[in-house]
Amino acid sequence: MVCGVGPEATGILRTVSYAVHTDVYEGPVDLLLHLILKDEVDLYEISLSRVVDGFLAYLDGLASAVDLEMTTEFLVIAATLVDLKARRLLPGPVDVEVDEELALFEQRDLLLARLIEAKTFRDAGNAIEARSQAASRSWPRTAGLEERFLALAPDLLAGVTPADIHAAWLRVTAPAPPPPRVVLDHVAPVRVSVGEAVDDLMARLPGAGLLTFRALTDGLVDRMEIIVRFLAVLELYKQGLIELGQAVTFGDLEVSWVGEPGSVFAGADAYEG
Amino acid sequence: MASEAARAAEAILMVADEPVEPQLLAQLLEVSPARVDELCEELAAAYQAEDRGFLLARVAGGWRFQSHPDLAPYVERFVLDGQPARLSPAALETLAIVAYKQPVSRAQVAVIRGVNADAVMRTLSQRGYVEEVGRDPGPGQAVLYGTSRMFLERLGMNSLADLPPLADFVPGADVVEALERGLGADDS
Amino acid sequence: MASEAARAAEAILMVADEPVEPQLLAQLLEVSPARVDELCEELAAAYQAEDRGFLLARVAGGWRFQSHPDLAPYVERFVLDGQPARLSPAALETLAIVAYKQPVSRAQVAVIRGVNADAVMRTLSQRGYVEEVGRDPGPGQAVLYGTSRMFLERLGMNSLADLPPLADFVPGADVVEALERGLGADDS
């Protein structure tokens, strides 16, 4: 099934040009978030890892001309999706202490607050746009002084010498501080796909029993690599090959292998290549 | 018979190429700034009553003549410069953050947006909407940004106080509920 | 109720920087040039009857708003007291860009300066220091600016060749070194 794009979604369509192609959904990634929030697409049904892998492949294909704005938009949305999905997949607060439950609420409230803040400024930005559109229907008078007054106007070039003009030119063309580099370190060097991360986990976990997520991401400094690793963990959890636990709120996420010996990852074919 | 001060205000505003502050007009007309605002408001009301094709508006802290928005289709054809290109949604969101949180550093903007804001901030300052307004006194002395006079002019606002309160944009209960559902808060 | 054509004429004349020819107005308003003159004469009479501080005058073959001669003393005070007496650093830099890069469009100036240059360019051209020298042959046909004869006179120059040449700029030792490294000069 492929979700239709309703007319109310067209405003979102212009924001992100990267499109998601999965079995359940095809369209811009921003719209995906919108639909999930409206409960029109089931989060469980979306393979986030395919979304991320697809995006990484897309970036590779772009070679040099990467649109930084689009990349960062994608990362925000992907991070929000991962966050949402993690919260749904993690064991619920079944028999946690009241304190821990409160802490969980707090954590959720923090995320909620961020989403509300983001939505607030997005809407405020739209209001600014509307005002600017309305204001742009009036043009200011800029005719300035009539000739008969020009002679009275102080000569703005009084005391200015050709050397001053030269100095001003040098000032304006002085090498600026190096132009901000388009930092893609957090995206481009990630050569590990979710599929590869799944393979790696499948190799390590059965023999290890229980490992913390921290241990599984030991040595990874790149945020994107950690996200990819986290997505791989979620995929294995969906397959019922691992259990996830958290002894203490905000404590380490514990990953334990529960699959039969010799289990294979059912979704593995989705990651070939 | 129109008052000399009102007529002088009309004459000066006709040759000004940017909004003229009431303080300056007051000094030139030898009346109080409050009286200037009163005079200009009377003039603006008269033009409206006479159904003129122009307005007297208070923009960016001063008074200026401008064309009536009704007549945009005619003026558009006359003015050769195209309208400035529209801002992207990301740039608009960033502009809103600067407008409401100013003075604000790029790092602070990045925290709210969740992404690096350098490229967007550069676009906004190149277009003249935001500008450096100071330095953070703390360590690092980060550059602080605010909206420019041109931002007010482009939005046809007299001052930042004309911005609708940010509270107007906080999503309503229905949206918050939907977000909460998305976070699985309805389990409990 | 004022006619749409009369209101449109008011709007266009209000934003025009120079007298607008009746032929052009006629085309924009979709009436005959004779009708334009009639409309403008009616407007001019109305302003006079209302004792406005401005008038609509036929100047140099076109119509324009201007301040009423009665009020010249106020406008003169505005020119003397209300206007900056010297060029701002930003204006000087813009003028330098036009001087060295002419013919140059406003957009090109903005790119070099890194900020919008429209207001500064307007001031410079109103003061007669820069002027239109042509149109970009490319799409959009942007107006190209150059420095004026007045600019040369005020700076005591005979021609642009009297500006200090840009080649006089000697890069520092570090820059030269970096350039040489970049060219592989250190291989030899």
**Residue A212, strand partner residues:** A254
Task: Give the mean pLDDT of C111-117.
Answer: 79
Task: Give the mean pLDDT of A239-262.
Answer: 72
Is A55 a residue whose pLDDT tops 90?
Answer: no
Which pLDDT score, from 0 to 100, does residue A260 have? 77
Task: Give the mean pLDDT of B28-37.
Answer: 96
Whether the CB of B76 is below 8 Å from some CB of chain C: the reply is no
Task: Give the mean pLDDT of A60-67.
Answer: 55
Task: Give the mean pLDDT of C162-187.
Answer: 56
Distance from the C12 Cα atom to the nearest Cα atom in chain B, whole angstroms = 5
Is A47 a residue whose pLDDT tops 80?
Answer: no
Chain A residues closer than 8 Å to B97 by CB: 121
Closest chain C residue by Cα to residue B73: C8
Q: Report pLDDT digits (tens) over A226-236.
A: 667 777 777 77
Interchain contact, A141 vs C14, CB within 8 Å: yes
Which pLDDT score, from 0 to 100, does residue B188 have? 39
Is C118 a residue whose pLDDT tops 60?
Answer: yes
Which pLDDT score, from 0 to 100, does residue B145 have? 95
Task: Give the mean pLDDT of B136-141.
Answer: 83
Distance from the A68 Cα atom to the nearest Cα atom in chain C, whole angstroms = 19
Whether the CB of A88 is below 8 Å from some CB of chain B: the reply is yes
- Between positions 169 and 188 of B, the ones with CB within 8 A of A are 169-171, 175-176, 178-185, 187-188
Task: Give the mean pLDDT of A248-252.
Answer: 57
Which pLDDT score, from 0 to 100, does residue A235 have? 74
Report for A26-30, A234-238, A264-268: range of highest mean pLDDT: A234-238
Which pLDDT score, from 0 to 100, does residue A124 have? 92
Structure tokens at B170: 């906080």
Least confident range from B78-87, C50-59, C100-109: namely B78-87
* DSSP calls for chain A: ------GGGHHHHTT---EEE-SS-EEEHHHHHHHHHTTSS-GGGS-HHHHHHHHHHHHHHHTT---HHHHHHHHHHHHHHHHHHHHHHSPP-SS--HHHHHHHHHHHHHHHHHHHHHHHHHHHHHHHHHHHHHHTTS-B------HHHHTTS--TTTT--HHHHHHHHHHHHSPPS-PPP---TTTTT----HHHHHHHHHHHHHHHSEEEHHHHTTT---HHHHHHHHHHHHHHHHTTSEEEEESSTTS-EEEEE-SPTT---GGGGGG--
Task: Give the mean pLDDT of C76-102.
Answer: 88
Task: Give the mean pLDDT of C150-178.
Answer: 73
Please tell me which of the candidates B14, B82, B126 has its beta carbon nearest to residue C54. Answer: B14
Of the pLDDT bands very low, low, confident and very high (cuts 50, 70, 90), residue C186 is very low
Determine what percent of chain A is predicted with pLDDT higher than 90: 7
Of the pLDDT bands very low, low, confident and very high (cuts 50, 70, 90), residue A15 is very low
Interchain contact, B15 vs A144, CB within 8 Å: yes
Of the pLDDT bands very low, low, confident and very high (cuts 50, 70, 90), residue C86 is confident
Closest chain A residue by Cα to residue B179: A37
What pTM did the predictor assign? 0.65
Whether the CB of A167 is below 8 Å from some CB of chain B: the reply is no
Of the pLDDT bands very low, low, confident and very high (cuts 50, 70, 90), residue B74 is very high
Q: Report pLDDT digits (tens) over B81-95.
A: 656 678 888 899 999
Determine what percent of chain A is predicted with pLDDT higher than 70: 41
Chain B residues closer than 8 Å to A135 by CB: 154-157
Whether the CB of C135 is below 8 Å from some CB of chain B: the reply is no
Of the pLDDT bands very low, low, confident and very high (cuts 50, 70, 90), residue A189 is very low
The mean pLDDT of chain A is: 67
ipTM above 0.85, yes or no: no
Chain A residues closer than 8 Å to C152 by CB: none
